[in-house]
Amino acid sequence: MKHSEKVKIISKRFKSLYTSSQKVRVYHGSTNSTRSIKLQANGVIDISNLDEVISINAEDLFVFVEPNVSMEKLVRETTKLGLIPPVVMEFPAITVGGAIQGTAGESSSFKYGLFHNICIEYEIVLGNGEIRHCSKDNNQDLFYGIAGSYGSLGIITLVKLKLIPAKKFVRLSYFPTADFEDNVRSTKRFAESEVDFVDSIIFSKELGVIMAGDLTDEKDDSTRTFRKAKDEWFYLHAKKIAEKRQKCVEYIPTEDYLFRYDRGGFWMGRLGFKFLKVPFNRITRYVFDVFMSTRILYHSLHSSNLSQNFIIQDISFPREKTIV
């Protein structure tokens, strides 16, 4: 089905529900939300088929993409032409629309901003069925207001995104830190340098690590991968390096770096071993690897409703408020 036909169907559905003053829930096909979601068939608008990369302009460096395209699919299609989005979320199943509506960021955000900051134009269907096109010069209120609105202002149906030249590898340098203040100061210093990525983890009051990366086509014998079953989970690998208290440099395939936290879902996958009373070690992580991608972990979370027993929250603080 052509994109324009999909949008007409969605617009018509919105108009019908709007006219009858009926409450609306939108079905995306998948979600990385931890909320308990219950949909009633008579008030649902299904946009799950908005999942295509429409076109890529390799000369002017942009892509037209529908909102349910995952980060994995977006990267796979753009890298065929030697390009990637400047900001790519670390979980492969996160979608373009979800990243915009949820104000997502990543380790390149110090340089390019949040994901919505690399968006050039949106096509949006409003609650009354009207179709609007917006950019920094057209319908500015919608263009700047849609990010972080969680669907309350309308449904994004098409996005024009910036692209940058891709490289085969990320040269990642690990710098162990001794305490929280050291970590914050070092993060600031690297964010003001010429690197492409800055990421940091604080494991305890006395142990942390800063990871600074550069896109490159070079590699050496220290090439490291993180997407195969035999690979160590990224955060565990980073912790081992931090514990040695020595700087380390590795070359990581770009896709492995972008989705480095997928296996294990940061450290949340470890809770699954605890819940099932299974030992947590390299052998069991290998055996249960097929269940440890974020796609499967989220599916399990929703099926079991365990997410209602915990509060999982991202919090952003101004840098000047992080050291007391």
The conformational region for residue 126 under phi > 0 = left, psi -120 to 50 = alpha, else beta, is beta
- Rounded to the nearest 10°, the torsion over CA 152, 155, 158, 163 is 30
- Rounded to the nearest 10°, the torsion over CA 210, 212, 218, 221 is 0
- Closest by Cα among 291, 309, 308 to 300: 291
- Closest by Cα among 110, 120, 78 to 255: 78
pTM here is 0.89
- Domains of the chain, each with CATH number or no CATH: 3-165 (3.30.465.10), 167-324 (no CATH)
Asked if 114 contacts 100 with a C-beta cutoff of 8 angstroms, the reply is no
Kindly give the pairing relationship between strand 25-27 and strand 44-46.
parallel
Give the Cα separation of 57 and 35 in Å (integer): 37
**Per-residue exposure over 144-167, b if at least 16 CB sit within 10 Å of its own CB, e if not:** eebbeeebebbbbbbbbbbbbebb
What does the block give as tokens for 202? 């604080």
- One pLDDT digit (tens) per residue for the chain, 324 residues: 899 999 999 999 888 887 888 887 887 776 655 565 565 666 788 888 999 999 999 999 999 999 999 999 999 999 999 999 999 999 999 999 999 998 899 999 999 999 999 999 999 999 899 999 999 999 999 999 999 988 888 999 999 999 999 999 999 999 999 988 888 888 889 999 999 999 999 999 899 999 999 999 988 877 899 999 999 999 999 999 999 999 999 999 999 999 999 999 888 888 888 888 999 999 999 999 998 888 888 777 766 666 667 666 678 888 788 765
Q: What is the pLDDT of residue 145?
A: 94
228 CB contacts (<8 Å, ≥6 apart)? none
Q: What is the pLDDT of residue 100?
A: 95
Give the Cα separation of 320 and 64 in Å (integer): 37
Strands of the sheet with 131-135, listed across from one edge: 53-57, 62-65, 155-162, 119-125, 131-135
Q: What is the pLDDT of residue 197?
A: 97
Handedness of CA 249, 254, 258, 263 (dihedral sign): negative
Q: What is the pLDDT of residue 302?
A: 64
